[in-house]
Each structure stands twice: as C-alpha cells, then as structure tokens.
Chain A
Amino acid sequence: MPPLHHTSNFTFIPTILSPHPKIPFQPSDKKEIQQAMSKYFEDPAWADITPLPLEDGGPNALAQIAYSAEYDELMQYLRAVMAANEYSPRVLALTEDLIELNPAHYTVWLYRFQCLVALQSDLQRELAWLNETALVHLKNYQIWHHRNLIVDRLGSSEGEARFVERMFERDAKNYHVWSYRQWLVTRFDLWEQGELEFTERMIESDVRNNSAWNHRWFIVNGREEQGVPGVSDPAIRAREIQFAQEAIGKAPHNESPWNYMRGIARKSGMALGHLREFVEQYASLAQPDKVRSSYALDFLVDILAEEKGGKEQAGEALDLLASKYDPIRKNYWEHKKDNLGLAAA
C-alpha cells in the first residue's frame, strides 16, 4: 500500500490519539480552596509579585477562557514567576497548590521539576510528597513522569518496587504504573531481584490480570538481545508452559494464559502437537458439547491444522466456534477456514 496521501478536495484528517481525559480532581470544599487562594494576594511573601493575567489571543469568543477566581489567582502567580524565571521555595509551594487543584496541568509539573533541580532540593522529600499525591491521583500520567525524572536523578530505586506494589493494591492494571515498573527494572537492572516472583504474586491474586502476564513475558524474554535466554531455552520454556497451564486449570476461559502459551510456542518454534493432550481437556471434537473455552477450541484448530490430514477436523472445530462457542467472531472463523482451503459452512 502506498503512503496515505490526502488528495481529494475534502481530505478527512487522521485522528490523533490523545490522552484519555479523565475528569480532573475536583476540590471537595470550594470555600476551603478559596480561603487558601486569597492567601497569595494577602501574603507578604508574595507582595513583590504582580499576578499576570492570561493573554487570551484576542476578543473572539473561543479564546475567552473563564477561569474560576481561585484557580485563576494561582495561575497568575505562576505565569508571573515563570516569566521572571524564578526558582525558589515559594515557587515549589505554589506548584504544590496548583497540582493539588489540577494535577493534569503539564506545565506546572515541568516548572516544578526545573525548580527542584535549580534549588538542588532534597529529592527524597519530593518522593515522599509524591507518594501521597499519587495515591490521590491514581490515574494521572504526569505524576509518573515526574517520579521517573526524580528517581532517575536520584540514581537509586530504593523502596520503589514496594511503592509500586502498594499502587497495584488500588489498581492492578494501571498502564502508567506498569510502564514505570518496566522502566525501574531496566534502569536499575532488577531483572533477577525477585521480579519473576512478583509476577507470580500478581497473577496469583488475579489470574485474569493481563498486565501481569505481559510483565512476566517481559521479565522472562526481555533480555534476549543481551544474550540472556528466555523461552528459547528448553528448561525455561517448560517452566513457563507449566505456569500457563496451571493458570488455565484455575480459570479455563481466560484469554491471557492462552495467549501466553501461544506466544511461547510461536517464539520457540515448538510443534503445537505437544500441547494437544492438555488442550483436549478443555476442548475436544470427541465431546463437542463440553467445550470449556473458545480459546482452547481455537488452539485446537491450530494444532489440528498442523497435523497431516487434520484440516477437515480443524474445519469442524471452526464450525463449532462460528455457530456455537464464539459466533460474534463468525467472520474471523470463516476467514480461518478459508486460509485452510476449506469451503465456508
């Protein structure tokens, strides 16, 4: 396919993925916030600063940005100190107040980091403050990026793995936190510091947590380029297949371990036939009414398709998927039949 050109008169514009906007933190008690705000105007520590109102780009309606009074006041002080390139303890306090009001404002975070660096602030104290903030604003992206910058600069991951686990107690599938965990492992070489056991704990507490499965794959296979073998090593492969199979035993209709096992077979080039006995416990053509998982039946299709003379049986399994066990994906199952050179049902 050639690169996509936009040639017609009306070229529809491709869409950018932007961060999923979360409803921002809303102060629970407006009055309380308001009192906190007016402290800046009356505080002698800020008397030298003239708050800087927003230049909103003209009189047109779209640019009229209506700040609420309290937030507006803080933003005016922030603009003023940024314009003066001021880095000081009071700027840290100001950014802290602003972040509490609106943790998604990326400029505030960046300026805070600059300020911490310029003041050579105690970064451990910053981490302690972040710990509290992160628990309040769990889904916020900037917090994790900020933490990343701080810990990188500290050069030590002391206490971080434990903190991350605490975060997972609140939301075990948080994408930012998992990304941060992977960064920690890579940055501080934590591959063999109990990380595999950590994935075991996470999967033990929720066998359907796909993020934990993904992390396990990363820990097992993430260093192959550096010469540390993953599932291409027969012993590791056997261990991982067993791990996936035990998980399937607990919850047969669970996409993650089936994908994991399929991934292992594919990466290591093993013949799928070795897994037939296991798979048939969950889906077998001998007992077409007792299929326990469509994932197992799909796996069986691939096993049969690899076998000599197994195509017709694979077709039977695909018909079962299309008609009974997973009809929402009927067209996909038909496509698989087509790929095997079998006529549609």
Chain B
Amino acid sequence: MSLAAGPGRGRVADGQLPDDLKLVVDKHVAYIKSLDTRRDELEYHLTEHLRVSGIYWGLTALHLLGQPDALPRAGVLDFVFSCLHENGGFGAAPGHDPHMLYTVSAVQILAMLNGFEELETKVPDGKMKIAKFISKLQQPDGTFAGDEWGETDTRFLYGAFNALSLLGLMPYQRPNDAPLIDVSAGTAHVKACQNFDGGFGLSPGAESHSGQVFTCLGILAIAGELDSHLGEEGKDRLGAWLSERQLESGGLNGRPEKLVDACYSWWVGSSMTMINRLHWLDQPRLTKFILECQDPDEGGIADRPGDMVDVFHTVFGIAGLSLMGYDGLLEVDPA
C-alpha cells in the first residue's frame, strides 16, 4: 500500500454543480487498489515506516465502500504476519522495530479480516502474546509507551485499549482472570488531559486538538467511563468546542485558527458521535466539503480542494461521510 500522495488532486469536475456532487465509489476503490502497485516510486519506501497502518487505512476504506475483498486477504495476512516479532509486537514493515502504533494497526487488520484463527495457527497463543507486548508498555502512571523507549502519549493509550478490546482481552472481557492492564490508571490520565476549553490534548497541559479529543473519548468509551466523566454539561462544553471547528467552507479544523482538513471530518465527527452531538455540525455543508476534496476522475480524497489525494485523507473522508449516513456506505463505529 503506497502512501505516496497524488497523482490526482481534489476538485470539482468541470461543469458540475455543488448540489450534484456524488461520492465516486468505484473510482475510490480503483484508486486504493492502484496504490498497491506503485512500488517503483521513491516515496513508496520512504513511507515504509507506516506501511502496516497504510494497509489498514486502505482496507478500512474498502470495507466502508462495500468492497472488502478488493485486496487479496491471504496476501494482506502474510504481510501482517511478516511484521510480527518474537515479543508479540508488530513493526511497520518487516525488519522494523515493534511499536505500539503498528501493533494496533496489525490487530485492527486481523480483526477486520477475521484473521485471529490464522494467527493462532501460526503462533500458538498469539493473541495473548500480542496482548502481553501491549500490557508491558503500560507505565506506573497509567500511560502507555509506544516502544521500549518510553515515549508516552494518549495515542498509545487509546491504541492499547482499542487493540486489547479487539483481542477480547480487556479486563471486563475476562472478569475471572487477572487483568493485563490497569484500566482506571489509564482513564485517570486521560481525564488529566482535559483542558479549560473543554477539549483534550496529547498530555496534561498540552493544547486541545481534535485528534486527541478522539483518542481520549475513545479510551473513555472503551472503558465505559465516558458518561460518568463528562456528564451532560461536559458533553455540551466539549461539543461546543468541537462544533467551533467547522468553518464557512463546511470543513473542520483540528484547533482554533488552523486550516480545515478532510481528515478532521473523522476526528471531530466521530468524537461528536460518541457524545451524541453530531447534529450540531452542519452536515450538508461538511458533506459538500468532503466531496469537493475528492478527485472525481481518478478517485482518492485530499486534505483540501486543490491538493493531492492520498490514502490517509481518503479513508478519513469516507469515514466522515459514513458517520453522517452517506448513502451506500457501511456504518462505522465511532470509537
């Protein structure tokens, strides 16, 4: 899966009226499939450190577009297994160090493709091995490091909770066994990341950012603490901050006074869905903005109209449309 941008750009086709914009489903499918063949480009290997996440993004987009089989299942699984290390962690590509982010992407791929059985055949007790790699990265303060080097942030905490819940190994999923991780220490840390403006940042004190709001709400949702922590008042405050992210173009930004970007359709949209306030966005305008970011001829979605398309913005643009119930897309789970 190439993470190279382009070659197409997001734009509105000549002569097309704004109200006639439609998601070009078949072209997006073709675009994502084509990414897997673009291996002779310099960018292909320069983005190798993201490869397994790239596959996850492409695969997710294809699932949402209703074409889950457009990439060969066996080939994807072989690649994922080739990234697995002895310690239960996955690297971004063969030969790369194991890291939380890529372990999470790998688990997400395995879950999406129902590949856990193959995992157990290939690696006895594989799910538990992966879970132990993840749980060992938890720090005394509840956070998770990305790797043995101790860098921590809320993305890794979310990744840990997300992957463990997909593996069925969160403490609440196996109440009779000793818990692998300390859930309440993790959620306590997340709560400390909430800011005076109602949003959440990457670490306590760090600026509120829509992407971090997503990870923090996801953690609280998976732990079942979202309602008890925020309450209706907290949801109103956070929802107000999130809805301020929508600008006149209909697109959303990640923090105040920054540019809109199609990927925030997902980070903001899913966050608002988790707190039942998606309807505070002007959805027809957001839909129109996302469709203006697609390349109507070759497929793919860009961050903004006029920019080059790539797989990252393609999946999050499509996921944003799915949240809003766009016709013909599968429904997405916001957390």
Q: Which residues in A have some Cβ–Cβ distance to B below 8 Å?
A: 1-4, 6, 10-21, 23-26, 54-58, 60-68, 71-72, 79, 101-102, 104-107, 110, 113, 145, 149, 173, 175, 178-179, 182, 208-211, 214-215, 217-218, 221-222, 255-256, 259-260, 262-264, 266-267, 328-332, 335-336, 339
Contact = CB atoms under 8 A, between A and B. Distances in A.
A116 B63 CA distance: 45
Contacts of A222: 205
Given A14-B222, A107-B49, 8 more contacts: A17-B215, A56-B94, A60-B75, A61-B75, A71-B42, A214-B206, A267-B196, A335-B280
B323 to A, nearest CB: 11
Interface of B: 1, 3, 5, 36, 39-40, 42-51, 53, 55-56, 60, 63, 71-72, 74-76, 78-79, 81-83, 91, 93-97, 99, 101, 104-105, 108, 111-112, 147, 149, 151, 155, 158-159, 162, 165-166, 170, 172, 195-197, 201-203, 205-209, 211-212, 214-215, 218, 221-224, 226-227, 236, 239-241, 243-244, 246, 248, 255-258, 263, 266-267, 270, 277, 279-280, 282, 285, 310, 312, 315-316, 319, 330-335
B134 to A, nearest CB: 13
Given A13-B108, A66-B44, A71-B46, A329 B158 contact: no
B148 to A, nearest CB: 9
A73 B239 CA distance: 51
B207 A210 contact: yes
Contacts of B316: 15
Contacts, number: 249
A64 B82 CA distance: 12
Q: Which of B46, B165, B211, B331 has the most CB of A within 10 A?
A: B46
Given A3-B224, A20-B263, A263-B197, A66 B94 contact: no
Most chain B CB within a 10 A radius of its CB, from A11, A57, A222: A57
A179 B56 contact: no
Contacts of B170: 3
Given A18-B101, A255-B256, A332-B243, A6 B166 contact: yes
Chain B CB count within 10 A is highest, among A18, A19, A331, for A18
B206 A179 contact: yes
B47 A21 contact: yes
A178 B195 CA distance: 15
Contacts of B104: 16
**A21, A110, A149, A182 interface centre (most CB from chain B within 10 Å):** A21
22 contacts: A3-B222, A13-B108, A13-B166, A14-B166, A16-B56, A16-B105, A18-B101, A20-B211, A55-B82, A63-B82, A65-B45, A79-B95, A105-B48, A113-B149, A173-B258, A210-B207, A217-B195, A259-B197, A263-B196, A266-B196, A331-B279, A336-B236
Contacts of B315: 15
A63 B94 contact: yes
B44 to A, nearest CB: 6
Contacts of B280: 329, 331-332, 335
Nearest to A107: B97
Nearest to B54: A21
Contact of B53 (A16, A107, A179): A16
Contacts of A215: 207
Nearest to B84: A57
B159 A107 contact: no
Contacts of A3: 165, 170, 172, 221-224
A146 to B, nearest CB: 10
Contact of A110 (B74, B97, B221, B285): B97
Contacts of B277: 332, 335
